[in-house]
């Protein structure tokens, strides 16, 4: 498998250089780009890695690039960096799937932690073979009730409706739900759905 690359995208040269140096110093391969468009030119969704992406850039903002990648179906994880502590922008970027949002001037360790998490996420997304075996093994550990709850959760039904459907309390559903997430080692239903539906057939 190709070695993952940290793609650093910022229109500020001094900043690109400093991040490049930091990330390179811990042994990751890096590539730098002056704009989102320049990155898109070179981007190959098949190559593993993550983005370190500035929010504010001339022409295409980091947020616009995130939206573009999403539209393209590219799930490469993004670590945002911004000199402006705009909370609403940061919260939206995270809810749209960004791994983290780090403020400039950044703490080196915080940025490296975020990059590590992004690369872990990318590797997990790209390991369907392991997931497939693992998924089946984990389904086998579920109780009958948990399986019933999971089937309904995967249909996208809210807990209250599931409770009604199975004639159990809302609270019990939520407990099953959180146990399911625990058993599959995921932190959200979205991730569970990904595991369940997005495993390419082997």
Partner 1 sequence: MRMGSERNRQGGAPAREMRTGVPRPMATTIYVLDPDPDERKWIESALAPIAEAVVFFDDAATLLARVSEGSCLIASAEPDEAATLKLVRDLRGRGAMLPVIVLGPHSAFRMAVDIARLENTDFLERPVIVRQLRAAVRKALKACA
d(CA 184, CA 182): 5
Q: Rule CB under 8 A: is residue 29 a binding residue for partner 1?
A: no
* Nearest distance, CB of residue 171 and partner 1, angstroms: 4
Q: Rule CB under 8 A: is residue 108 a binding residue for partner 1?
A: no
Q: Rule CB under 8 A: is residue 85 a binding residue for partner 1?
A: yes
Q: Rule CB under 8 A: is residue 158 a binding residue for partner 1?
A: yes
* Nearest distance, CB of residue 158 and partner 1, angstroms: 5
- The residue range among 30-38, 56-64, 125-133, 181-189 that interacts with partner 1, by the rule CB under 8 A, is 181-189
Nearer to partner 1, 68 or 121 (CB): 121
Q: Which of 29, 74, 91, 136 forms a contact with partner 1 (CB under 8 A)?
A: 91
Helix (H, G, I), strand (E, B) or coil at 155: coil
Angle at 82 between CA 79 and CA 85, to 5 degrees: 120
* Nearest distance, CB of residue 34 and partner 1, angstroms: 26
d(CA 41, CA 60): 13
Q: Rule CB under 8 A: is residue 188 a binding residue for partner 1?
A: yes
d(CA 67, CA 60): 11
d(CA 181, CA 198): 17
Q: Rule CB under 8 A: is residue 175 a binding residue for partner 1?
A: yes
Token reading at 51: 């983005």
d(CA 75, CA 151): 25
| C-alpha 70, offset from chain centre | 11
- Site residues (vs partner 1, CB under 8 A): 85, 87-88, 90-91, 94-95, 100-101, 103, 158-160, 163, 170-171, 174-175, 177-179, 187-190
């Amino acid at each position: 498998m190709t070695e993952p690359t940290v793609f650093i995208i910022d229109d500020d040269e001094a900043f690109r250089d400093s991040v490049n140096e930091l990330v390179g110093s811990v042994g990751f391969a890096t590539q730098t780009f002056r704009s989102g468009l320049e990155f898109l030119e070179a981007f190959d969704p098949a190559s593993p890695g993550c983005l370190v992406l500035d929010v504010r850039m001339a022409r295409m903002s980091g947020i616009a690039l995130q939206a573009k990648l999403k539209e393209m179906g590219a799930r490469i994880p993004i670590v945002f960096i911004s000199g402006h502590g705009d909370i609403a922008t940061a919260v939206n970027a995270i809810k749209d799937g960004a791994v983290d949002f780090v403020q400039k001037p950044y703490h080196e360790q915080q940025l490296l932690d975020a990059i590590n998490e992004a690369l872990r996420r990318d590797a997990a997304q790209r390991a369907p073979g392991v997931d497939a075996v693992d998924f089946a093994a984990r389904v086998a550990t579920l109780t009958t009730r948990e399986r019933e709850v999971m089937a309904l959760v995967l249909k996208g039904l809210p807990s209250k409706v599931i409770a009604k459907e199975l004639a159990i309390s809302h609270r019990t559903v939520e407990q099953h739900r959180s146990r399911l997430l625990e058993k599959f080692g995921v932190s959200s239903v979205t991730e569970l759905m990904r595991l369940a539906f997005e495993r390419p057939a082997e």
